[in-house]
Amino acid sequence: MAVQFQRAIGWGIIASLVGTGFIRAHAPKEPIKHSFLATGVETYILDDDGKVLWRYPQGTRDGWVLPNGDVLLAVTKNKEYPGGAAVEVARDGKVVFAFKGTQSEVNTVQAVADNILLTEAGDKPRLLEVNRQGKIVVEVPLQAQTKDHHLQTRMARKLANGNYLVPQLIDKVVREYTPAGKIVWEVKTPNWPFTAIRLDNGNTLIDCTLGNLVIEVDKDGKTVWQLSNDDLPEKWINDACGGQRLPNGNTVVTSHHAKDGEVKLIEVTPEKKVVWKHVDNKPFGIHEFQILDTNGKALEGRPLR
């Protein structure tokens, strides 16, 4: 019936009717595209058309694009940084700040006011704030197992109340520490926690690595939302390491163990509908990331990661 109607009145008349509002146009919605910073085996910034805008020549654990355009990175231990490092580098490759780790690894980095937050894994796991001169101004001993340095902590973040949120992998717990080192909140997790994000509503979003699971818990530790491969058309979550909650309420998750041609990042709505995927031909996944814009427009609001 619709085809006969189109043939009878002609496409030109339909176009004019659409213009008057008599018939509503249903133009296809522009697909979501993101620019992002990726850290891991490779470190790079990708624009929303998939073009590499910037690279860093070493592996990294965590990172942020700062308001001035520099990139702050937790560098994986190597010959130059045998204990890992927190490094700020300009887009031309010039290092403008570096703090060398003194133990086994540096796995977290975050700019906090005039300081840099980082964590050190080792026999004495600790969270530090250092100033731009490299002086330690805050030191928080972390109550974590010491048998496996690599699996002590990840993605620690300073909270608005001045405390620190710290995922502890093998311990299967996310803890909130005061600057004095007192634990004031904790939640046990079903799998190794990697990323923990305190949301504006007071809940905490937690990525559980090899559990291929993301959970959101309330202040009492009750799970109020979760995402697993059971919620997806295919098993696209493969080692849920990094995560980010976007201002629109959507959640983006990495697949750190994804390989060539597999999904490396997915974005889902609160209803768990997949609205964006990133696939590339690299033989490894993404450790942590920062979504920078959507379709060329900077994110509005305060993205949480």
Residues 164 and 89 in one domain: yes
The parts of the chain modelled with pLDDT lower than 70 are: 1-28
Predicted pLDDT of residue 30: 81
Residues 16 and 105 in one domain: no
Give the integer Cα–Cα distance in Å for 109 and 128. 10
Cα gap 174→186, rounded to integer Å: 5
247 and 202, same domain (yes or no): yes
Q: What is the pLDDT of residue 4?
A: 38
Report whether 140 contacts 126 (CB < 8 A).
yes
Residues 17 and 146 in one domain: no
* DSSP string across 235-293: ---SS---EEE-TTS-EEEE-TT--TTSEEEEEE-TT--EEEEEE-S-SS--SEEEEEE
Residue 40 shares a structural domain with residue 18: no
Report which residue type is found at 223.
Answer: T
Q: Are residues 10 and 157 in the same domain?
A: no
142 shares a domain with 50: yes
Strand-pairing partners, residue 293, are 35, 298
Q: Which residues constitute the domain of residue 8?
A: 1-28
Question: What are the structure tokens assigned to 289, written together?
Answer: 């990331």
| 1 and 110 together in one domain | no
Q: What is the pLDDT of residue 9?
A: 36
Instruction: Judge whether 5 lies within some domain.
Output: yes
Specify whether 186 is located in the same domain as 291: yes
Q: Does residue 305 belong to any structural domain of this protein? A: no
How many domains does the chain fold into? 2
> Quick one: 21 and 43 in the same domain?
no
Residue 123 lies in a domain: yes
* pLDDT score of 20: 43
Query: What six digits make up the tokens of 53?
Result: 């805008």
pLDDT at position 301 is 77
Does some domain include residue 303? no
Q: Is 304 contained in some domain? A: no
Whether 7 and 150 map to the same domain: the answer is no
104 lies in the same domain as 23: no
The answer as to whether 50 is a domain residue is yes
Half-sphere exposure of 68 (CA within 13 A, CB side): 8
Per-residue model confidence (pLDDT) at position 28: 56
Residue with tokens 């202040």: 219
- For 111-133, write each residue's pLDDT tens digit: 999 999 999 999 999 999 999 99
Instruction: Tell me the whole-structure pTM to 2 decimals.
Output: 0.89
Decide if 75 contacts 62 (C-beta within 8 A): no
Domain CATH number, residue 180: 2.130.10.10
